[in-house]
């Protein structure tokens, strides 16, 4: 008999149930997760039975409920939970449960990143946090792409490939930007930011340009269709600009932008 314990899931303020058998790997109860998200339990069990990867790992354990009665509970090994969740197409669920499902799937990206990053680095999984991989959230000292360890970069690229296979090209593109990876859909000659940088930006030690200010200056310079901050940031990184966390005096808070440059006075 395996005792399951309640584990908080902060992204949705819910609880999942998991336990460690005397022998074997940690197990996670599936029905509470389905209830949390709003998924139909009957249809999910049918899909589990038909899945050639997940079905062999399904484990039935006996737990004792609050009423003292023994009940059978369907579980999956902890390592299989991300794959199970990624198989659920968020586009085909009811709109009212979509955001909750996406919250679980987003969390799984971080778990996978931590796992593969640790394995590639030869370090224990427990020694790697999501922030190690998602360097965009690494605070003021988040390294630029050139400073990332090779194993971290490899883990990030693996995440993008998995996102493309599981969620499609648009999801992969969003994750690529989220991980602060370089733009690959333009050559330097095709990147409009290169000419803007050469004409409108000046190197200056200690200077910094917040992302919003950079996008505004770029759009004013091009006088064409306005580009959003994310697009301008992607072009800036592709042009070799040192994208980082900076201190924004206007907002009195940390912001994203480029260090060591200022906008040329007009």
Residues 61, 131, single domain; the answer is no
Does the residue 85 lie in any domain? Answer: no
Say if 186 falls within a structural domain.
no
Tell whether the model's pLDDT for residue 210 goes beyond 80. yes
Whether residues 165 and 96 share a domain: the answer is yes
Most confident of 28-37, 179-188, 207-216: 28-37
pLDDT: is 111 or 132 the higher one?
A: 111
Q: Report the range of poorest mean pLDDT among 9-13, 85-89, 139-143, 235-239.
A: 139-143
Q: Does 38 reside within a domain?
A: yes
Domain assignment present for residue 183? The answer is: no
Query: Residue 35: what are its φ and ψ, rounded to 5°?
Result: -65, -40
Distance CA 246, CA 207 (A): 10
User: What confidence category does residue 30 fall into, taking pLDDT thresholds of 50, 70 and 90?
Assistant: very high
What is the token pair recorded at 53?
Answer: 């990867």
Mean pLDDT over residues 215-233, rounded? 84
185 vs 216: which has the higher pLDDT: 216
| Torsion angle in degrees (nearest 10) through CA of 139, 143, 148, 154 | 50
Distance CA 72, CA 56 (A): 17
| Residue 139, pLDDT score | 37
Q: At what angle do helices 41-50 and 30-37 cross, to 10 degrees?
A: 130
Q: Which tokens sit at 143?
A: 């390294």
Within a domain: residue 218?
yes
Whether residue 160 lies inside any domain: the answer is: yes
More confident residue, 128 or 165: 165
Q: Percent of the chain having pLDDT more than 70?
A: 71
Q: Check if the beta carbon of residue 248 is closer than 8 Å to that of residue 254.
A: yes
Which of 147, 178, 209 is where one domain is finished?
178
Poorest-pLDDT segment among 33-37, 115-119, 236-240: 115-119
Question: Are 7 and 18 spatial neighbours (Cβ–Cβ below 8 Å)?
Answer: yes
Do 209 and 242 reside in the same domain of the chain?
A: yes
Which domain covers residue 20, as residue numbers?
A: 5-80
pLDDT in tens, 92-112: 888 899 999 998 888 887 666
Let me know if residue 115 belongs to a domain: yes
3-state secondary structure of 205: strand
Is residue 236 within 8 Å of residue 223, measured between CB atoms?
no
Assigned domain for 185 exists = no
Mean pLDDT of 213-226: 85
Residues 69 and 40 reside in one and the same domain? yes
pLDDT-based confidence at residue 158 (cuts at 50, 70, 90) = confident
Q: What is the pLDDT of residue 136?
A: 40
- Domain count of the fold of the chain: 3
121 shares a domain with 62 = no
Q: How many CB atoms lie under 10 A from the CB of residue 136?
A: 15
Cα–Cα nearest to 84, from 38, 159, 30: 30
Question: Are 105 and 159 members of one domain?
Answer: yes
Give the span between the Cα atoms of 87 and 197, in whole angstroms: 43
Q: What is the mean pLDDT of residues 26-47?
A: 91
Q: Pull the structure tokens for residue 101.
A: 């499902």
The pLDDT value given to residue 41:
92
47 with 103, same domain: the answer is: no
């Amino acid at each position: 008999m395996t005792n399951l314990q309640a584990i908080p899931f902060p992204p949705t303020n819910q609880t999942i149930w998991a336990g460690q058998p005397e022998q074997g790997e940690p197990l996670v109860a599936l029905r509470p997760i389905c209830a949390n998200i709003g998924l139909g339990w009957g249809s999910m069990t049918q899909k589990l039975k038909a899945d050639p990867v997940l079905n062999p790992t399904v484990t039935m354990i006996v737990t004792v409920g609050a009423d003292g009665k023994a009940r059978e509970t369907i579980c999956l090994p902890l390592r299989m939970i991300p794959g199970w969740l990624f198989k659920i197409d968020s586009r085909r669920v009811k709109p009212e449960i979509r955001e909750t499902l996406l919250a679980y799937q987003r969390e799984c990206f971080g778990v996978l990143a931590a796992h593969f990053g640790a394995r590639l680095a030869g370090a224990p999984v427990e020694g790697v946090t999501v922030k190690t991989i998602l360097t965009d959230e690494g605070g003021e000292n988040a390294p630029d792409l050139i400073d990332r360890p090779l194993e971290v970069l490899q883990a990030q690229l693996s995440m993008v490939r998995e996102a493309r296979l599981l969620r499609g090209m648009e999801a992969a593109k969003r994750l690529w930007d989220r991980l602060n990876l370089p733009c690959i859909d333009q050559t330097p000659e095709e990147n409009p930011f290169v000419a803007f940088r050469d004409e409108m930006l000046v190197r200056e030690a200690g200077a910094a340009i917040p992302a919003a200010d950079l996008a505004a200056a770029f759009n004013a310079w091009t006088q064409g269709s306005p580009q959003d901050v994310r697009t301008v940031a992607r072009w800036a990184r592709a042009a070799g600009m040192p994208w980082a966390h900076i201190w924004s005096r206007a907002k009195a808070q940390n912001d994203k932008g480029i260090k060591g440059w200022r906008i040329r006075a007009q």
